[in-house]
Chain A
Amino acid sequence: MGGSADKPVLFQDGKRIDGRALDELRPLKIVAGVLKEAEGSAYVEWGGNKVICGVYGPRECIPKHDANPYKALMKCRYTMSPFASLEEHGRSGPNRRSTEISKVIKEAFDSVVMTGEFPKTQIDIYVDVLQAEGGTRIAAIAAATVALASAGLPMKDMISSVAVGKVDGHLVVDLGKAEDNFGESDMPIAFKHRSKEIVLMQMDGRLTPEELGANIDAAIEGAEKVYALQAEALRKSYEVTEKQEFRM
């Protein structure tokens, strides 16, 4: 991740490295319904992150012996493009990191999608990171929520996500790549919007219990801003004409 010699100045005149305030998010743009063949889809630009997500299903469960007669099987595949960042991501297909992220995203959505409605089937979430700049897993979750909603899959709640952390002793919201690499702590976190239940929480680095509490409060506020944009994206997809294509 880079030695301390490479460490840039993370704070200057009370502003963060990219000129943001402590609780300010990077510019976030969400578009729903971008793919023709997917049941639901979304594209997210979050700072330097570019993430595209497609949702398929419920469809026939393969392999068949994995099918659950009581509920649909959620599957998620997160991948990074070879050109996503300067580091060596996406060199040779699935790796340890992307397998882990696929798993945590899948588990987050397992708790909101009403899989019991579709026994013996599977629901696929495909997330591709086209460009990465820190915080791709939260961008992936933001995109996947919008894609699932636009697919019309029944969900008990929407999920909104944000990263919080500690950089040079300050609690900050939505860490960028430099802050992620050189800060003390990075904590991606995802909430159910209505109940504020946490469906994903991971952490790198260290925080005191008090800082953790303050961070979660800050994350709830940040996630609220993300939710507002997710909702707007979904509303917009119905405003003029739907970009819903069909096969002929």
Chain B
Amino acid sequence: MEKMILPGEVVWGREVSASGTYLHEGKTYATVMGMMREEKFIPLQMTYKPKVGDNVVGIVVEERRAGYSTDLNLPYNGMIPTRKVRITLDMGGMVYGKIAWVDEVGNVDIGEVDRLPPGKIITVPPSKVPRIIGKKSSMLNQIREKSGCSIFVGNNGYIWIGTRGNVPLVLKAIRLIIENAHTSGLTDVVAKYLEDNK
């Protein structure tokens, strides 16, 4: 395994701007646990901060005058402003959308909202989501293909899984990815797993 870096350890001897690091007296230090791979710092575990353009899965929790308040697995609920998004939603309904706006205290507006049919939402660590999606959605597509399930992954750590198809296989595959998220060659491992457990 590659060298592991802990918070407060030097990542580079010069100033480099990268996520999970901070600069101090001409050097770059880590703020979270991470690994060095090909001169790049890869955070292993990191608290999620919403960014504009992130895809999110949410659960509608409250209807307000300005829109729908939505649980996004964040400290505070996100908002679907009905002034901009012409959509009618039910309480407890599940949605898939894009973060349209974030302010400096973490208030979030969601745009491009789609209603999701009834299904299952699971929570995963947001730092593992890139591995679940894979390069150009390779990982996600092969899980979709082999299980026959409809899956929507949010960067916020919520994953929606449809009711049709082999749902237990999806759950097991996602667990496998999370447990081995820091290893390389994961797409092949998961491909083999899906083939064996079909």
Contact = CB atoms under 8 A, between A and B. Distances in A.
B175 A157 contact: no
A154 B20 contact: yes
Interface stretch (B44-52, B53-61, B93-101, B135-143): B44-52
A158 B8 contact: yes
B6 A120 contact: no
A58 B76 CA distance: 10
Contacts of A205: none
Most chain B CB inside 10 Å of its own CB: which residue of A61, A150, A157 = A157
A87 interface: no
A2 B43 CA distance: 50
Contacts of A151: 45, 47
A108 to B, nearest CB: 14
Interface residues of B, number: 38
Contact of B44 (A59, A117, A238, A247): A238
Contact of A58 (B6, B29, B33, B75): B75
B47 A118 contact: yes
Most chain A CB inside 10 Å of its own CB: which residue of B1, B6, B7 = B7
Interface string B75-111: 1100000000000000000000000000011100000
Interface string B161-182: 0000000000100110011111
A154 B178 contact: no
A111 interface: no
Contacts of A193: 8
A238 B123 contact: no
Contacts of B130: none
Nearest to B122: A248
Nearest to A238: B182
A149 interface: yes
Nearest to B168: A248
Contacts of A90: none
A244 interface: yes
A8 interface: no
Contacts, number: 109
B153 interface: no
B151 to A, nearest CB: 14
Given A60-B76, A121-B75, A234-B33, A156 B7 contact: yes
B124 interface: yes
B12 interface: no
Given A60-B75, A121-B75, A152 B45 contact: yes
B114 to A, nearest CB: 23
A66 to B, nearest CB: 14
A246 B124 contact: yes
B44 A244 contact: no
B6 A149 contact: yes
A94 interface: no
Contacts of B180: 241-242
Contacts of A112: 7-8
Interface in A57-104: 57-61, 69
Interface string B18-62: 001010000001011100000000011111010000000000000
* The 7 A-B residue pairs with the shortest CB-CB distance in the complex, in nearest-first order: A152-B45, A157-B8, A154-B31, A155-B7, A121-B75, A241-B179, A152-B46
12 contacts: A57-B75, A60-B76, A119-B105, A149-B32, A154-B31, A158-B6, A192-B8, A242-B179, A244-B178, A246-B122, A247-B123, A248-B122
